[in-house]
Structures are given as structure tokens and as C-alpha cells.
């Protein structure tokens, strides 16, 4: 696969990624969807991370059920905002899982190595070349 095809495939990837800027020339990315689906990976970084995501997911599920039940008891249109809020909450929970893991990776070398070895964390190329020409030549 050529470099151009690989970069085009990465842009079409629907995964939620959280980026961590280590230096101006280096950006790390975390797969937030995988972390949200596998809370045992977050639990190894800290039990409170997994518990927080689990609790917020439960709140999202309760809003979803309340939206469906409110359709029967209040009005048909009440499910629309509640289901919308539940979906937005679930999306923000995914992003939060990635941000929590990114914060843990920045604070601890062991957490960084664990995430990197499990395939959740990877190095991305910078989106724009460095401003300094000498630095650009030395970074190759």
C-alpha cells in the first residue's frame, strides 16, 4: 500500500481518535472507541477511570429509556430531545475515555507503554511541516 493510499484510508476511518501533542513535531493518537468498548484496558490504568465511564454510560442509558417511556406518558415528541441527549452523552463518553487514557499516558511511563503495546496508542505524523527549515531538515 502506498503512502498516499494509506493516508487516504486513515482519513476515512470512522474511529474516534484523541490526539496528544507531545512536541511540535510529534503527535500521538489514541483509539477512543476501543477504550470505550473495553473498559478493562482503562481499569488497568486506574479503576476510577473505568468506573466514571461506566457510570456516565448508565446515565446515557437511563436517558434513552426515559425518552422511550416519556413517549407513552407525556407526548410523542418528547423522545426526540431525550434520545438526542443520550446519543450526545454516549459520544462524549467515548471522547472522555480517550482523554482520560491520554492524561494517564502523559503522567506515567508505565501507562504509556501499556497503551502503546496494546495497540491503542500510536504515533501520527504532524499535519503541517515545522516552520523552521533547519529543524525540518534535521527531523528526517
Domain boundaries, the chain: 22-126
The pLDDT, as a whole number, for residue 7 is 42
pLDDT score of 132 more than 60:
no
More confident residue, 81 or 5: 81
Share of the chain above pLDDT 90, in %: 46
- Residue 132 has a CB neighbour count (10 Å cut-off) of 11
Determine contact, residues 76/4, Cβ cutoff 8 Å: no
pLDDT score of 32 more than 70:
yes
Give the DSSP H/E element, type plus range, for residue 124.
strand 121-124
Q: Which cell goes with 118?
A: 496494546
Describe the chain by its helix, strand, coil percentages, rounded to 5.
70, 10, 20
pLDDT score of 97 more than 50:
yes
Q: What is the mean pLDDT of residues 65-93?
A: 92
In sequence order, which residues have a C-beta less than 8 Å from that of residue 132 and are 6 or more positions away?
Answer: none
Amino acid at each position: 500500500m502506498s503512502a498516499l493510499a494509506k493516508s487516504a484510508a486513515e482519513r476515512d476511518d470512522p474511529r474516534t481518535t484523541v490526539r496528544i501533542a507531545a512536541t511540535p513535531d510529534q503527535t500521538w493518537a489514541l483509539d477512543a472507541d476501543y477504550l470505550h468498548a473495553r473498559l478493562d484496558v482503562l481499569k488497568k490504568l486506574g479503576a476510577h477511570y473505568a468506573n466514571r465511564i461506566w457510570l456516565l454510560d448508565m446515565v446515557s442509558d437511563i436517558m434513552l429509556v426515559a425518552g422511550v417511556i416519556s413517549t407513552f406518558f407525556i407526548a410523542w415528541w418528547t423522545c426526540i430531545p431525550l434520545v438526542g441527549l443520550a446519543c450526545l452523552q454516549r459520544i462524549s463518553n467515548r471522547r472522555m475515555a480517550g482523554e482520560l487514557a491520554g492524561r494517564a499516558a502523559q503522567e506515567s511511563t508505565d501507562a504509556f507503554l501499556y497503551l502503546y503495546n496494546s495497540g491503542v496508542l500510536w504515533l501520527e505524523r504532524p499535519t503541517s511541516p515545522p516552520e523552521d527549515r533547519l529543524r525540518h531538515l534535521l527531523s528526517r
